[in-house]
Each structure stands twice: as structure tokens, then as C-alpha cells.
Amino acid sequence: MSRSQGRKQALDDALDVVSDLLKIAAVVSDTVSVPALRPVVSILSELIQRVKDTRTNTESEAVFFEKTKTLGEVIRKKVEEANAAPGGGNSVLQEQVITLSSALGKIQEMADGLRGGEGFRGSCKRLLSVTRNQETLDKMNKQLMTAQEMFITEVQLATQTAVGRIEQVVINAEERKVIDNIPHADAGYLSVKEMKSGFMQGTRNDTFGTLKAWTGADDSAHIREPVFLLTAGAGLGKSAVAHQLCVRLSDPKQLGLNLGASFFFSRGGIDSAYTLFSTIARQLALTQPRIRPVLVDAAQRFLDGGKEQQARRTFDELLLKPLTEHSDDAVFNETTFIIIDGLDECKDRELIPELLRCLLELVRGVPWIRVFLATRPEPHILSVLIPAVDIVHHQRLDDPQTINESKESVELYLRQTIPEIHPYGDFVRAHPDMLDRLVNRANGLFIYARVAVNYLEMYDTHPDERLALLLESKDVRLSPLDKLYLQVLQSAFPSHNLAEWPAMHKRFHDFLTFIALHLKPLPPAAISLLLMLTEDDVLWMAGRLRAVLLINKAGDLVPLHATFSEFLLDSKRCIDALYHIDKPQGSAFLHVRLEDGQP
């Protein structure tokens, strides 16, 4: 499915769910006292139309439609449950729908900042407006996610009141204040960028068969180890598996599966280890009503010592002590999953071994906690986990037994996507061997397939020449991915142009230096200040390299994948000196810019 098709499908799905809610709202007042449902549906409908009218066709837009659909499905499920409850009516549901309506009203106010529609002309101006729309959409997505989390948390046990079991579901104001003060990063699975969440249904069946056995979703098989370690080299889809696991564990239809917390490291984004344990504790307090009072009490004591404390103390005070003290309580005894992705992308490498030892200590002390870890197989990580064979199940995506699954997934992606890109569809149908060769060139590497698709989407003429460029094999020194990265750079900024125009080469080289080395992600406007370029220059260069760059949910310009930065910094991989970034010189350049008082 192409990106535009994916956006349209997300929009159609969201509209279908809201349409169903409208039908429910029309009759629900006769059976369930939820009059606030009508305003909620009205606001959702208006928000979908406002976002649709921006016509930005960005990841943030598709994410908004997907989040709207998910929220609509949750509302529908809760209303239907209340309708079926003995005696009908549900005051808790009504109260929380009113709260949700208020939260959506604030998102409605944010939507006033969206721009777009007919009469919008000029590539640079359009890209600037798209960037601003994306920043607004990212804020809306974040608020929508928060509203959804709170709505689910505050009504998920309401139906139990019918049989006389009253539990604290609604987070009171004091608890809310404490939870909000727990230091955290926006690193949950609903916050990750598109590259990490790109999973194609129908793929990775063997891997998810194993994960079903580990989660307990498959009664016929069971993997007893409480830690599941998934390793593979760069670009093989580890993050997509981790994200999809979060989605499945969060599915209300999957009874007995319970996602407690998720944390996705991202190089150049969420890459600090210091907020890992506090973020996990905060998410557990939000998603697990049964243990919330214990975690809130622990957080109150912890915060007396200040928000910024050592990682080990944070782990002990917010997780280990409160959970182990109650590990035998029957009310706590529900298997809860913690998902952590991208350990290799954490910049605090020296802390990772200690953090892993903490996690192993947690699962040994709290039998209902299970932890999933996805990472490249780096020594400082494996040296801690591999010896713990009694509690760690290790699966490799790139070993001979599973590499064929990766190849099948990538092949499916390419064969479904490229025929949908104009004008490549007609060409590959007439020359199927070209698509076969591209599939073979990808060799199961998802990042290669994704960049190749992005590259082809950028150039809509001469499909024979563009595919031929991707399939060239002149330099045997380079891997297929490195050849692809070099082709992206040479197509966007031909080497003869850079050699002829030194001033342009200097601007471009400074831009690449930031992409390769700057540890703090920034939006295009801030990058222009740092590099002393115009914002139009930054947007133009980013647009030329959109096959390998993206603007994330925070509005920051970042590489699509960490391997692009690694490529730029390695002279044995980036063999054209016009594009290679020398790390010491580049670091010194950025240091001077920062010392001059720039961002």
C-alpha cells in the first residue's frame, strides 16, 4: 500500500467509526444515560474534516486519523458495554464522556492553527506551511493520545460496579498531580515515528507465533522465561515488531494481555537512559489501576528528593521496592508487559549494563512482570543478558532460521508498494524482472526497501532509468544500502554541481554535518539559525533528501534511520568526499555554532 493510499485508508476508517458512533448516539439516550456522547461525536467529525482540509498528506495526518479511529472504537465499545449492563445506565461513563468532551474541545482550539486548502502555491511556502501544520498536528496527536489514555483508564473497570465490585478507577486530583510530576519522556509506542511503527499485516508470522507463546496468548505453547530478547542488525525491522507487539497487547479484544508500559529509544531523539525507569513507573501508574495507589505513594516519597536523581535510586524507589513489597498480593497478580526498543540507540552506553541488571532484578522479584527488549546485538548489551539463560529467551531476526521471514516481509512490502507508485506500476508489470532484482537487492533489509520506495516516489519520470540507477553494481566495495544512500545524495545534489559551486557545497555540507552529528533534534527554523542559513535553504535541502529524512511528531528534522548518519560519518562507506562528514571537524564546527549562542 502506498503512502497516499495508507492516508486515505486511515481517513476512511476514522470516518466509518465516527459514522457508527453517530448511529449509536441517535438511539443511545433511550437505554444509556450518556447525553454527552453527541457533542463528542460532533467534535470528532469536525476535527477529521479540519485535518482532511489541510491536505498535507504527512505522517502526522495519517497518525491523527488512526488515533481518531482508535478513540472512536474505544468509545463505541464502552457505550455498548454500558448498554448491555444490567439495569442500563452508567454514571461513571457519563462523567468520563463529559471529561473527554472537554479534552477534545481543547484539541479543537489547537486545530484553529491549521492552514491549507485551495490556492496554496509555491513549493517552499507549501513546505513551510506543511511543517507548521505538522507541528500543530503533532500537538493535537499528543493531546488526543493523552485524552484516550485517561478515558480508557477511568472507565475500564466501571462495569464491575454492577456486581458490587467497586475499585478506584478514576484518578483523583491528588494522584493526577503526583503522576504528572514524575519525570518522563514521550517514548511510548503511540509516540514513535513512522519508521519504527511500519508493520505490514500478514508478515512475521513465525516471530509472532513465538511471541504468542511467550505472552501466553497461545495456550498450546508457552515460553517460561520472563524476558524476551529480540536482536538483529540495523534495518531488519526490530522496532516494527516491538511496536506491533504493543498494539496487540493493547487490543481490548485480547483478553488476558496487558501492556503496562513501553519505551522506544531513538537516536537523536529519545536517547537518554535517565528517564527510562521514571517513564515506566509513570505509565504503569496510568495504565494499571490495581497498583496505582502503591506507585503514587512511592512517587510522593521519591519526589521529596527532587525530580533528577540517579538511575539506580529511581529504579529502587519507583519500581523495585513498591512492586516487590506487594508481589504476592492476589490483586496484583496479573501478568503485565513492559516493552523496550532500541537499547543500542541510547547515548548513555555506560549506563545500559546497569539498567539491564536492574530489569533482570525486577523480573526475578516480581513474577507477574514480563519484559520485551529489542536491540542490535552489541557487546555491552549481550554481555549482561546472554548469561541470564534461566530468565532470558533470545531470538535473532537475522539468523538462518528467521532470515527468510525477513526476506518474505520485505518482498511483500516491495511488491505491494512499487506497483502503486506512478509511473512505476506500468513499468514493473511490463518488466517484472526489474522488481525481482530490486527484491533480491533488498535481501530482507527493510530500511533498504523503505528508502528505495521513498526515492522512487520522488522521481516520477523515466522509471527505467531510476530503477536502473538503484540496481547498478559498479562498486563492489559497498553494501547495497550504502550504494542506495550514495545514489540518493548524488541524485539530489549531483557531485559535479557541488564541485562547480563551492558556496552551495558549503551550505549543503553544513546541513549534512548537522544531520550526522547534532544530538539534539531541532525544527527547520532552529536549524537555519544554528547553521546561519535561511529557513528556505533548510527546507529546500530537506525536501531534496526526503527519501532519507523526515519531520518527526515533535516537528524536528531527523534521519529516517540511524544508518544514514552512520553512513555519512564512515569514509569507507561514504566513499565520495563531497558527502562524507569528518566527525572531529564536524563536532568542532557545531560546537563553535553553539558557543556563538545559537540553538
User: Ramachandran region of residue 434, left (φ > 0), alpha (ψ -120 to 50) or beta?
Assistant: alpha
What was the pLDDT predicted at 338?
Answer: 96
What was the pLDDT predicted at 235?
Answer: 76
Q: How far is the C-alpha of 242 from the C-alpha of 249, rounded, in Å?
A: 11
Is 436 domain-assigned? yes
Read off the CATH number of the domain in which 529 is found: 1.10.10
Q: Are residues 547 and 446 in the same domain?
A: no
Amino acid identity, position 336: T
Q: Are residues 272 and 374 in the same domain?
A: yes
Q: How far is the C-alpha of 319 from the C-alpha of 360, rounded, in Å?
A: 13
What was the pLDDT predicted at 13?
Answer: 63
What was the pLDDT predicted at 336?
Answer: 92
- Nearest-10 crossing angle of helices 59-84, 37-54: 160
Is 544 domain-assigned? yes
Contacts of 98 (CB under 8 A, 6+ apart): 36
CB 315 within 8 A of CB 277: yes
Q: Are residues 335 and 197 in the same domain?
A: yes
Q: How far is the C-alpha of 352 from the C-alpha of 347, rounded, in Å?
A: 9
Long-range residue pairs from 46-53, CB within 8 A, at least 24 positions apart, any chain: 46/108, 46/111, 47/104, 47/107, 47/108, 47/111, 47/140, 48/11, 48/14, 48/15, 48/18, 50/111, 50/114, 51/111, 51/114, 51/137, 51/140, 52/11, 53/114, 53/116, 53/117
The domain in which residue 20 lies consists of: 3-164
Q: Which of 401, 425, 447 is the last residue of a domain?
A: 401
Read off the CATH number of the domain in which 197 is found: 3.40.50.300
What was the pLDDT predicted at 399?
Answer: 76
Q: Are residues 416 and 395 in the same domain?
A: no
Is 175 domain-assigned? no
Q: Are residues 556 and 505 in the same domain?
A: yes
**Where does residue 31 rank: exposed (0-12), middle (13-18), buried (19+ CB within 10 A)?**
middle
- DSSP lists the bridge partners of residue 393 as 228
DSSP state of 328: T
Whether omega for the bond prior to residue 289 falls within 30 degrees of 0, making it cis, is: no
What was the pLDDT predicted at 122?
Answer: 43
Q: Are residues 143 and 81 in the same domain?
A: yes
What was the pLDDT predicted at 268?
Answer: 67
Q: How far is the C-alpha of 450 from the C-alpha of 410, rounded, in Å?
A: 9
Q: Is 51 helix (H, G, I), strand (E, B) or coil?
A: helix
Q: How far is the C-alpha of 409 from the C-alpha of 414, rounded, in Å?
A: 9
What was the pLDDT predicted at 87?
Answer: 47
Q: Are residues 408 and 394 in the same domain?
A: no
- The sign of the CA dihedral 5, 7, 13, 16 is negative
Q: Are residues 8 and 149 in the same domain?
A: yes
Q: Are residues 7 and 145 in the same domain?
A: yes
Cell of 93: 461513563
What was the pLDDT predicted at 252?
Answer: 64
Please list the ranges in the chain whose pLDDT falls under 50.
25-33, 87-89, 117-127, 157-169
Cell of 484: 542506495
Is 503 domain-assigned? yes
What was the pLDDT predicted at 4?
Answer: 55
Q: Are residues 249 and 204 in the same domain?
A: yes
Q: Which of 401, 419, 451 is the last residue of a domain?
A: 401
Q: Are residues 588 and 451 in the same domain?
A: no
Q: Are residues 377 and 414 in the same domain?
A: no
The count of domains in the chain is 4
Q: Which of 401, 427, 462 is the last residue of a domain?
A: 401
Contacts of 35 (CB under 8 A, 6+ apart): 29, 94
